[in-house]
Structure 1
Amino acid sequence: MGTALVTGASAGLGLEFAWQLATARHDVVLVARDEERLTRLKGQLEAAAGVHAEVLPADLTDRADVERVAQRLRSDERPVGLLVNNAGLGLNQRFVGGDVDAEDRALELMVRTVMVLSHAAADAMVRRGRGAILNVGSVAALIASGTYSAHKAWVRTFTEGLAVELKGTGVTATVVAPGYTHTEFHARGRIDTTHYPTAAWLDAEDVVAAALADVRRGVVLSTPSLRYKAVSALLRVAPRPAVRAFGSYRRALLDAGIEAERDRDAARD
């Protein structure tokens, strides 16, 4: 059934992508920083699904590591037929007054790495005449809420442009734009989500299943769930002042979470 390479495969959506692809009989290349978790996952996937799993530890904010992954995508040995650019991080800070080094790492991971790996994969796939690239975006791309929104807006526009270039080559490009999803993402970013409405949350299993189904159909813009399809449609036609107001509301939720996290840290100290 071919080989899929998944970045950020040790947790969250990446972990779910790895499981769903393996159970669909795809061999997988697992990319993340935590080699121990990847090795454990490799054993689980091979035992449960009977596929070949390859571990490729890499810090995707490090350009040398990114190039190692790009070389794997260019390889004709166990050629990669599906790239899932999933790795990401949440910055629990404001841009003004925040840590600019952390901002730079986020930019490397969620913009430059997506570009470099997509370039490597597209070149190899077009040469073979088949393949697919799936970039994980976010509904946040449609609002004004810090650099995370800006990064995901870039991913969305980049993927649409890539899809235009790839038309007629046998290779497709898809960007999936989930909303809030139950994963380790927020916990790893120390983002308090207790103020977020319950109805906003999606299950990782459903998000990944919808994304992979859209990849199979060659869909360019994939938005899992009817509720986020409706939200996205509204955001696309809403006046920009209203969109900025929505971003301010989300910012207020994040600020409330930051204060709650600081209070908990102070209580522990």
Structure 2
Amino acid sequence: MSLDVAGTTILITGASAGLGVEFAHRFAGRGANLVLVARRADRLEALAVDLRDTHGVTVTVLPADLTQPDIAQALRSDLAGRGITVDSLINNAGFGTHGAFNEENLEQVRSEIQLNVTTLVELTHTFLPDLLAGRGALVNIASTASFQPTPGMAVYGASKAFVLNFTEALWAEARGTGLTVLAVCPGPTRTEFFDVVGSEEAAVGRMQTAAQLVDTAFRTLDRRSAPPSVVSGLPNWVSSISTRFATRRLGALISGRLLGDIRMKSILSAK
């Protein structure tokens, strides 16, 4: 059994690079039409040309800054004006920050929460009536950072823990409908993520490729009864399971050590 998306329309956020590009090629290879959303219009247009030429599908490009308030409704209104209904949604867009929380830029943190949490929730809520009308998929990209506190990436880890729990709850609510709901939890993956973070110290464990991560996602989506979430890569799965056997205190300390043992500087020591 495999997820049949031929002739349906799939919206992918963060589609200008990394996982978004890989998801776009895989879904187009199954005959799905695509709506690509990201800030970089030039990259989206180049990808759209490639997808049309390679797979013969319809590709709509919507350049947009997903950190802007009310962007979800604006996208749905734009698509409705074009006569396009979204059957599946891939919430892939997101970014992380790295460093002691008290030294982070608050505006950047706000944007991180807006994109990773608020926009994801608003997109899901806005398009959910269309998703439930068919037999498509809702895929939210969480992270192995979802399973424990992440000192040095406190906001990112917390945002992805939200995504994981939110998605698994929706999986339970969607039972009995035709909608497949899945949270995908990557470990470190060779994308532009760490360029944005500004450091590869946050990469714990062996790097996977975008193709390996998307392979995991599709194997799971193709199952007759897909689970609410999946961790990509055996070492990452073992790591995620191991957090169940540690106290919250120990988990936070171990995670902090792995991420570089970043600590806040007190006011006195900073003077």
What TM-score bracket applies, with the shorter chain setting the length?
A: 0.7 to 0.9
Rounded to whole Å, the distance in 2 between the matches of 1:58 and 1:230 is 37
Relative contact order, CA 8 A, sep 6+: which one is greater? 2
Deviations 1:146-175 (A, max 9, x none): 111100000001001111111112112110
Runs of 4+ in 1 over 6 A off after TM superposition: 73-76
- Confirm or deny: 8 A CA contact 2:117 2:162 kept in the other structure: yes
Rounded to whole Å, the distance in 1 between the matches of 2:123 and 2:80 is 10
Rounded to whole Å, the distance in 2 between the matches of 1:183 and 1:168 is 35
- Confirm or deny: 8 A CA contact 1:177 1:222 kept in the other structure: yes
User: 1:89 pairs with 75, 86, 95, which one?
Assistant: 95
Q: Does 1:136 align with 2:141?
A: yes
Identity of aligned residues (%): 33
Total equivalences in the alignment: 252
Q: Which residue of 2 aligns with 1:259?
A: none
Q: Which residue of 1 aligns with 2:214?
A: 208
- Aligned partner of residue 66 in structure 2, secondary structure: coil
User: 1:241 pairs with 233, 249, 265, which one?
Assistant: 249
Q: CA deviation at 1:99?
A: 0.9
Unmatched runs of 5 consecutive residues or more in structure 1: 256-269
Rounded to whole Å, the distance in 2 between the matches of 1:236 and 1:11 is 33
Q: Does 1:168 align with 2:173?
A: no
Opposite residue 83 of structure 1, the aligned amino acid is L
Rounded to whole Å, the distance in 1 between the matches of 2:64 and 2:81 is 17
User: 2:75 pairs with 32, 47, 69, which one?
Assistant: 69
State the TM-score, normalized to the length of structure 2. 0.86
- Aligned partner of residue 84 in structure 1, secondary structure: strand
Q: CA deviation at 1:75?
A: 7.8
Q: Does 1:107 align with 2:113?
A: yes
Matches within 5 A, 1:1-269: 1=6, 2-71=8-77, 77-126=83-132, 128-145=133-150, 146-193=154-201, 196=203, 200-217=206-223, 218-252=226-260
Rounded to whole Å, the distance in 1 between the matches of 2:254 and 2:76 is 37
Opposite residue 93 of structure 2, the aligned amino acid is A
- Aligned partner of residue 252 in structure 1, secondary structure: coil
Change over 3 Å in CA distance of 1:171–1:72 after alignment to 2: farther
Unmatched runs of 5 consecutive residues or more in structure 2: 1-5, 264-271
Change over 3 Å in CA distance of 1:45–1:253 after alignment to 2: farther
Q: Say what the alpha-carbon RMSD is for the aligned residues.
A: 2.1
Opposite residue 224 of structure 1, the aligned amino acid is S
- Aligned partner of residue 120 in structure 1, secondary structure: helix
Change over 3 Å in CA distance of 1:253–1:98 after alignment to 2: same
